[in-house]
Each structure stands twice: as structure tokens, then as C-alpha cells.
């Protein structure tokens, strides 16, 4: 089976998001009243696996070391057929 997956990677809450702060400041400089800007990474993949659980295991392995730095980042996997 082929599954479509997305992996969202964000900095953990206790890690300073310097990129998010820079974006927020740039938006404020253009008179946009925004707060709490967070920058992250977004990946779309198609994976082939025998089952949804096999696909999730593969994606968790990829997300936890290849696409994210588990020391400072967390991730969320979304899976669909």
C-alpha cells in the first residue's frame, strides 16, 4: 500500500525560536500586529508499506533522527491513504 504522509517539525517549547522572533519583528516593522510566531519544517512523503502501523513505524524512525534533532525539536506525523 502507498500512504501519503506529512511530518511537521518544530522547536521544543523551551528552545528559543530565533527565526520565529525575526519573522515576528519583520512583520511588526510592516505594521502587522502578530505574536507567537513559530518557524518549523514541513515534509510531504509517499511511503510504501504493508500496513498503516508499518508506515507509522518507518515515519517515526525517519522523523526522529533524519528530519529532526530530537534534542531540540519535536515532530508530528500525519498519515493518509
Query: What spatial distance separates the first Cα and last Cα of the chain, rounded to whole Å?
Result: 8
* Integer angstrom CA distances of residue 5 from 2, 9, 30, 48, 78: 10, 13, 35, 11, 6
21/41 Cα distance (integer angstroms):
16
DSSP string, 25-51: HHHHHTT--------EEEEEEEEE-SS
pTM, rounded to two decimals:
0.87
Q: Is the backbone of residue 45 left (phi > 0), alpha (psi -120 to 50) or beta?
A: beta
**Domains of the chain (ranges plus CATH)?**
2-80 (3.30.1280.10)
Residues 14-67 have pLDDT tens digits of 999 999 999 999 999 999 999 999 999 999 999 999 999 999 999 999 999 899
Amino acid at each position: 500500500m502507498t500512504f501519503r504522509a506529512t511530518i511537521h517539525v518544530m522547536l521544543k517549547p523551551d528552545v528559543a525560536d530565533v527565526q520565529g522572533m525575526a519573522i515576528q519583528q519583520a512583520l511588526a516593522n510592516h505594521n502587522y500586529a502578530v505574536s507567537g510566531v513559530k518557524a518549523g519544517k514541513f515534509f510531504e512523503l509517499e511511503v510504501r508499506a504493508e500496513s498503516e502501523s508499518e508506515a507509522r513505524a518507518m515515519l517515526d524512525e525517519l522523523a526522529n533522527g533524519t528530519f529532526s534533532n530530537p534534542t531540540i525539536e519535536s515532530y508530528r506525523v500525519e498519515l493518509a491513504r
